[in-house]
Amino acid sequence: MASNFLKGKMVLAVDDERDVLEIIAEELEEYDVELDRASTFEDGLEKMSVLTYDVAILDIMGVRGFELLEYAESRKIPVVILTAHALSPESLKKSIELGARAYLPKDQLGKIAPFLEDVLTLSYNSAWRSVFEKVGTSFGKRFGPEWRKTEKEFWETFDENIGLNESVIIDS
């Protein structure tokens, strides 16, 4: 049974891949959310400028997702970053620095509803802790076991702030 928490929430999904927007719609269908979709930066920006969303799901590539993230932050709209082509330690770090509440590889799209619920119900730190508990080991597998070494101070501070055990991040 689907969680009732997402029912009636206003969600914006911005991705230049229409099939990804369709998958998001299918994944959220049973939750009875109000889903708006945009496939361009301009359309996403326009929608955020006229409507207030409970959460936005933003792709990085193809729709200038980091710019949309900055705009969403200025409007106090929580953001889940969803990416495949920009899946990198650098874009993860930048997403955190710009205020995203979660970062999800597109191959984890089937888990979008629990991520949205976490973003909407948990504190910033708890939401990020949940992200790393759910998909943190996949970051280590994709980026290699030493992926956090180049920005060691940033990641140590981040871990300390969210109360995260490094073992859930790096898959040895």
pLDDT of residue 1: 41
Estimate to the nearest angstrom the gap between the alpha carbon of 23 and the chain centroid.
15
pLDDT of residue 73: 95
* Residue 172 pLDDT: 32
Query: DSSP alpha helices (H): ranges in the chain?
Result: 18-29, 41-50, 65-74, 89-97, 112-121, 124-143, 152-162
The separation between CA 84 and the C-alpha centre of its own chain, rounded to angstroms, equals: 12
3-class DSSP state of 5: coil
Record the tokens describing residue 141, joined without a space.
């597998």
Query: Consecutive sets of 10 residues in the chain, 172 residues long: mean pLDDT of each?
Result: 78 95 95 95 97 95 93 96 86 94 90 91 89 85 87 90 59 32
Domains of the chain: 10-126 (3.40.50.2300)
**Torsion angle of C-alpha atoms 105, 110, 111, 112, degrees rounded to 10:** 80
Tell me, what's the pLDDT at 4? 78
Among 99, 152, 127, CA closest to 170: 152
